[in-house]
Structure 1
């Protein structure tokens, strides 16, 4: 075959300049060797000839190439005994089966032969090689950087001299192998080759047949597709002009990135989980904190301590999402955070040594836990807190994505944002500190890295400034005055300080809360993986595995103990009913920290059967497993997500007399009615007062602006005096059962879920009038949802209050001797009560 057969438009057939252009395209190609991943053939090289811009060689004419021809031909002249005299015929034979590159190889032979004809008397020259510089990968292994010298002919083709397997001989670019290639580019085209993966011990056969792109987690990022690195230099001489189109290149890159994201980085599981979270996201409020966040995320305001400004800013920024209601919009925004959390958690598991398949399985199990699904699909601060903790675990790992100053700064920024969301993220400090120490040691100047971390931490705390400028509204917490008020809000002074669970304190129930924690972790991780994860965590603390050293595992174990058993032992409530709802949210963090050792335990199984497992199908199975587990967990979540809370509060507001004042004690009623009034515009004339904030001067000033003047008093029962003051103003007054002193001192009667309070001396209405008013109130109530069970949290509490109203009416009829009316009222109470 003549050398000019590969010449493109740059020169006529047989023109040396065209051959030079074709050969120049191979100067930056790495040597492809079956052992090129750390084996004896791991060195790479490039020619020492002068380089030009990548696009210059396509359009050069023969005259423009002639000035460089001598340098290229000198580089092409290798030892005659190994590369020309004895090697050329044999190598030409070995390229059979790769029709795409045979012509280019023959051209290099012709150049060498002509060079030998002109310089036959000169001694043979050997190409000069030097060791390629190395870099340290995330696993601590030395890897070759970009090559510094390449033998011209072998730079483009690999012929298997270092391999004893004839099937491995062939073209280094397309990996066509004699007698065993799946697809030949000469027959199937450049873009039709399919990936061929044969296991961790055969790196030469990994990746795509035509494009060897980053073929595994041990592959250096600098190693890629040999063909794509030359496509803009010699597409015409290699008949690949169509592949050189930018649109094709972008599509190729996007397709590869999408595959990596879906199957290697947990994207498929995260997308399926996001769809499930949006599917179960409630379009109504379900509890007090949920109502508060949905409202303040829409209109602004200060949330209860610690303020959670980072989460509120996220809700404000995503208020444009297409939710059917403000609560639904906030739930979708929270589901986005939860999906990102799963991607980061997957990366953290891989950074700690797990394979992608094991990480996908662990993340799928975690994401389908009932408590995880619940707080990932409603407006609550815990999804962002989980994302912060997952990011800390990822960044702190020895195989994390950053090094030196960048690692320390990223950890500081994430920690600051975490504190600006939920302070329990500080329980992951052991992991974050070991990562910060690593970053300081990796940096050239440790002091600079430490200063960068402190500055990033301060930047992460910046969202707290939002609490000083956000507008005040009816359900905002008490106004924050200056820096001292901001620090007090952060430290939860109103709730007894950072270490107190409730402002009143009480007896600790250690055994009950530890049992509740164990039940939550077991149910989240399906028991057996949870036990395997705990065992693996203990093993790694005393015996290091691949990747993360022992100190990292020891700090992870310390964080797990602090966020799990130690925190649970501090709760002063028994975890049943609504108290169980309150403490179960704090079990999320230890459940997430357990994901890393669970993935490590699953990785042991994956490593044993890796040769039989393919990444794509295994990841798809993990996603299907999540879907199946989510279907099992969904009823447990949906039973506490009925619209009972919102319907009850809407009925309460609509049943109030014009201009009424309702004094209540529960956060659910306060924030729920605020959501309906501020986000929906329900009954703006009514005023709802939460009793436990009346003692704050800022809150009393807010009430005064709404026409309710309350002065601080030293009376033994201040609630009675305040009630009489409101009644004296002529406004109707209603209270809930918590204000027992008012109900004892002043005449009252049940009205819906509240009690109507009358001035002193005024007679109560008759029993028939009370029954009629309540009958009308409940007739207007929307009860079109499943009747709650005995342990369905707030829906159960709501229906208990419905039944209590009619029991009072029934007792009144029974006291009056009206048995039939009493039986009728008791029957209504049984119908409204939760299922037995």
Structure 2
């Protein structure tokens, strides 16, 4: 209510007493207004002025003074009817907007009330606001705003009288926020609103507060003229005629939700990354574990310890995806997990205090790392493991999506699923325990929350029951055992250097250094959102999953050993995403007024695409079909009904993939030597006609080989079975050695060379020749060259130099590039 309208009917124009009492009433109402910032004292000031003794009034007559005092009391009563919730100070209606435009808050409310069919004397709902200068944080807790965010800018742009009521958006000069911070005096009138961190349900304004406003989670922002001030739910301003409601409000809301998912929730980066992962997904197997997962995901079975049932169930559930081969289908299913992982990681970065732009940039850099791209686009268990760790970081944050019992139960369920996928997720336990303790403290009954977490953990471990019912096949592993301990000589320095190289290359070095520095800073000095204990536990998880684990590896990370070790660098790289986003958020906060969310997110997606193009050659050089072509050639070159005893997982799982998923050479039997000692595996071989009994001989492999040869089946072995090659006659045949019964003569050198020429002529070598450090393709071509070196040595021993030179030339052509 305006102060100049309270004189009442008893006062007449030109009467000195009326003017004096009107000034007195105006003073009392001003003292009781929210702008006085008097809190509870404002109500006392109004009451005192209304009940002042008659001697204090300077009206001409006692009747006139009483009449004007009654008018003051009526004004105070009207003020009380429009106050905030119980216990809040009374407020007088006041001018909204700035002094230049003089738009009235009450006039806007009156128009809206008439539009809704309400009575004029009904207390307006829009007047109910928070009485205390508070704001909502990401975790839903109320915190006091800083004085700069509450105190009004006095002078020409004075508005709002300093209360916590949001001001009208009708003034293009003020550009105040309808639920956030006022414009600072330094930036008022120049189009840059002071940034303020808002609650989960109050997104920040991105630009001019009138044209580009965000009113709530489910309400798309207005993008029209500054004078229209449209609203998709309930009109708030006088300009109702200029607002055009869409024909289908549901479509409008869906469009707003899609925009938020793409630009504020990391959806655009995740979709671009998913397209890139599918593009580089190999249609062939690339190593032993990849072949095992692709096969078991198609036909079922038990994987090597610890079984990985959660990932196998996912592959089984997505086996309908339209891949060109079983390996390609499993790779696409893994790419889906990787894309979901990026969305969850984006949410985790925001829950730990980063703005959406900073989170998008951090996720884009992480997703384009060569190691990340590799294991996000082939059938491997690490994509699901990364998703589990990202979910733990998200759920455990103070600004996470759940509270109380639900937080504890969700953490328990995710932890159980993570253990059912890959046990290395337990290295993120410090962060998960912080979240569980928070959930127990938030719950009304802590014991119930703890019990719910334990029950959810047990439910998450339920996929292990799949290993008891899945059908057995030729490459199913033996009963599950624990992880083997890491023993032997440790190579601490080499592995720590390898970890640093992986993290630096994944995060392009400078963001990695900034992330480590920010992690150290947040452990000492907390920022907004997550308290110090959360950052300290995140740092502990990073150290445990990174340097501590890397220092325990007993191999030098070079070649195939480097391939095995680098997979375990994925978790520390993911945990580093949160502090990297926090470091980028410092830059975003500094230039927030100049940054638009949509273009910035699009730039992050384009940045991912550019970084992915840079990293793609490093991934594709080890993704050649060399492994699959070599194993297919080995199977096709076997004699009918042959038995091949090998020692490598790659050969065992790769041939199993071709036999079970492709139907290649079902008559041949491939035996992996290090499983022969297991009773269950020997029973499986017995069902296929190979009876192997346990023996106490010093060289059991020789006895088993003679038993197979006595059955009349051809026998081939690889280099690992040296005792067999020493005891029985043999000769090279492709990548294996053909073993002959005792006393049988070997074929001549010319026959051996001819058989190998035929074997290699049938081999598909239509792919780039691998380099010296291309992992399995390099190992495959080394084995090709080794066969022809043996032939060349045989010719040289026999004095046939020309034939030896010819065989040596073939070996050089097949060997990896120098």
The answer to whether the superposition gives a TM-score over 0.5 is yes
Taking the aligned partners of 2:171 and 2:32, their CA distance within structure 1 comes to 9
Contact 1:323 1:332 in 2 (8 A): yes
SS of 2:49's partner is: coil
Cα distance change on mapping 1:151 and 1:296 into 2, 3 Å: same
SS of 1:195's partner is: coil
Displacement of 1:452: 0.5
Displacement of 1:263: 1.1
User: Where does the alignment leave 5 or more consecutive residues of structure 2 unmatched?
Assistant: none
Taking the aligned partners of 1:32 and 1:803, their CA distance within structure 2 comes to 94
Cα distance change on mapping 1:559 and 1:42 into 2, 3 Å: farther
SS of 1:75's partner is: helix
Contact 1:8 1:237 in 2 (8 A): no
For residues 388-441 of structure 1, give each alpha carbon's deviation from its aligned partner in whole angstroms, at most 9, with x where no partner exists: 000101111111111111110110000000000000000000000001001100
Cα distance change on mapping 1:43 and 1:575 into 2, 3 Å: farther
Cα distance change on mapping 1:144 and 1:89 into 2, 3 Å: closer
Cα distance change on mapping 1:545 and 1:108 into 2, 3 Å: closer
Displacement of 1:606: 1.3
Deviates more, 1:608-617 or 1:33-42: 33-42
Taking the aligned partners of 2:60 and 2:735, their CA distance within structure 1 comes to 88
Deviates more, 1:218-227 or 1:632-641: 218-227
Displacement of 1:700: 0.3
Contact 2:2 2:93 in 1 (8 A): no
Partner of 2:793: 811
Contact 2:108 2:236 in 1 (8 A): no
For residues 779-808 of structure 1, give each alpha carbon's deviation from its aligned partner in whole angstroms, at most 9, with x where no partner exists: 000000000000000000000000000000
Taking the aligned partners of 1:299 and 1:657, their CA distance within structure 2 comes to 27
* TM-score for both structures, normalised by structure 1: 0.76
> How many residues are aligned here?
818
Displacement of 1:38: 17
Partner of 2:426: 426
Contact 1:58 1:232 in 2 (8 A): no
Contact 1:157 1:170 in 2 (8 A): no
For residues 307-357 of structure 1, give each alpha carbon's deviation from its aligned partner in whole angstroms, at most 9, with x where no partner exists: 000000010111111111110110011011111111111111111111111
1:829 aligns with 2:815: no
Deviates more, 1:243-252 or 1:614-623: 243-252
Displacement of 1:358: 1.0
Cα distance change on mapping 1:581 and 1:764 into 2, 3 Å: same
Displacement of 1:772: 0.4
Contact 2:84 2:127 in 1 (8 A): no
Displacement of 1:601: 1.1
Partner of 2:323: 323
Cα distance change on mapping 1:690 and 1:177 into 2, 3 Å: closer
State the superposition RMSD in angstroms.
10.9
Taking the aligned partners of 1:24 and 1:705, their CA distance within structure 2 comes to 106
Displacement of 1:170: 2.9
Displacement of 1:268: 1.0
Taking the aligned partners of 2:566 and 2:94, their CA distance within structure 1 comes to 67
Contact 1:291 1:672 in 2 (8 A): yes
Contact 1:9 1:236 in 2 (8 A): no
Taking the aligned partners of 2:814 and 2:562, their CA distance within structure 1 comes to 24
1:698-737 to 2 correspondences below 5 Å: 698-737=680-719
Cα distance change on mapping 1:157 and 1:98 into 2, 3 Å: closer
For residues 808-830 of structure 1, give each alpha carbon's deviation from its aligned partner in whole angstroms, at most 9, with x where no partner exists: 00111111111111111010000
Taking the aligned partners of 1:746 and 1:532, their CA distance within structure 2 comes to 62
Contact 1:804 1:829 in 2 (8 A): yes
Displacement of 1:678: 0.3
Displacement of 1:531: 1.1
Partner of 1:609: 591
Displacement of 1:142: 2.0
1:670 pairs, out of 646, 652, 674, with: 652
Taking the aligned partners of 2:248 and 2:25, their CA distance within structure 1 comes to 20
Taking the aligned partners of 1:818 and 1:52, their CA distance within structure 2 comes to 128
Partner of 2:661: 679
SS of 1:194's partner is: coil
Contact 1:98 1:186 in 2 (8 A): no
For residues 503-525 of structure 1, give each alpha carbon's deviation from its aligned partner in whole angstroms, at most 9, with x where no partner exists: xxx21111111111111111111
Cα distance change on mapping 1:32 and 1:231 into 2, 3 Å: farther
Contact 1:16 1:62 in 2 (8 A): no
Displacement of 1:527: 1.0
Partner of 2:549: 567
Partner of 1:494: none
Displacement of 1:155: 26
For residues 728-776 of structure 1, give each alpha carbon's deviation from its aligned partner in whole angstroms, at most 9, with x where no partner exists: 0000000000000000000000000000000000011111110000000
Deviates more, 1:199-208 or 1:642-651: 199-208
Deviates more, 1:595-604 or 1:453-462: 595-604
Contact 2:192 2:593 in 1 (8 A): no
Contact 1:292 1:675 in 2 (8 A): yes
Cα distance change on mapping 1:15 and 1:556 into 2, 3 Å: farther
SS of 1:26's partner is: helix
Contact 2:153 2:184 in 1 (8 A): no
Partner of 2:151: 151
Deviates more, 1:642-651 or 1:110-119: 110-119
Cα distance change on mapping 1:175 and 1:63 into 2, 3 Å: farther
1:538 aligns with 2:520: yes
Cα distance change on mapping 1:125 and 1:397 into 2, 3 Å: closer
Cα distance change on mapping 1:697 and 1:668 into 2, 3 Å: same
Contact 1:352 1:398 in 2 (8 A): yes
1:104 aligns with 2:104: yes
Displacement of 1:46: 23
Cα distance change on mapping 1:401 and 1:269 into 2, 3 Å: same
SS of 2:191's partner is: helix
Displacement of 1:221: 14
Contact 1:341 1:390 in 2 (8 A): yes
For residues 439-478 of structure 1, give each alpha carbon's deviation from its aligned partner in whole angstroms, at most 9, with x where no partner exists: 1001111101000000000000000000000010000001
Contact 2:111 2:238 in 1 (8 A): no
Cα distance change on mapping 1:348 and 1:312 into 2, 3 Å: same
Contact 1:809 1:825 in 2 (8 A): yes
Cα distance change on mapping 1:389 and 1:25 into 2, 3 Å: farther
Contact 1:273 1:367 in 2 (8 A): yes
Displacement of 1:60: 52
SS of 1:641's partner is: coil
User: Where does the alignment leave 5 or more consecutive residues of structure 1 unmatched?
Assistant: 488-505
Displacement of 1:612: 1.5
Displacement of 1:711: 0.4
Deviates more, 1:777-786 or 1:601-610: 601-610
Deviates more, 1:66-75 or 1:448-457: 66-75
Cα distance change on mapping 1:38 and 1:471 into 2, 3 Å: farther
For residues 205-245 of structure 1, give each alpha carbon's deviation from its aligned partner in whole angstroms, at most 9, with x where no partner exists: 76898998745899999999999999999999999899998
Contact 1:58 1:234 in 2 (8 A): no
For residues 263-322 of structure 1, give each alpha carbon's deviation from its aligned partner in whole angstroms, at most 9, with x where no partner exists: 111111111111111111100000000000000000100000010000000101111111
Taking the aligned partners of 2:424 and 2:541, their CA distance within structure 1 comes to 11
Taking the aligned partners of 1:26 and 1:65, their CA distance within structure 2 comes to 15
Contact 1:44 1:150 in 2 (8 A): no
Partner of 1:85: 85
Taking the aligned partners of 1:344 and 1:121, their CA distance within structure 2 comes to 50
Contact 2:646 2:670 in 1 (8 A): yes
Deviates more, 1:419-428 or 1:31-40: 31-40
Displacement of 1:725: 0.3
Taking the aligned partners of 1:61 and 1:324, their CA distance within structure 2 comes to 100
Contact 2:652 2:670 in 1 (8 A): yes
Contact 2:341 2:387 in 1 (8 A): yes
Contact 1:76 1:152 in 2 (8 A): no
Displacement of 1:607: 1.4
Contact 1:80 1:86 in 2 (8 A): no
Taking the aligned partners of 1:392 and 1:37, their CA distance within structure 2 comes to 44
Displacement of 1:529: 1.1
Contact 1:57 1:234 in 2 (8 A): no
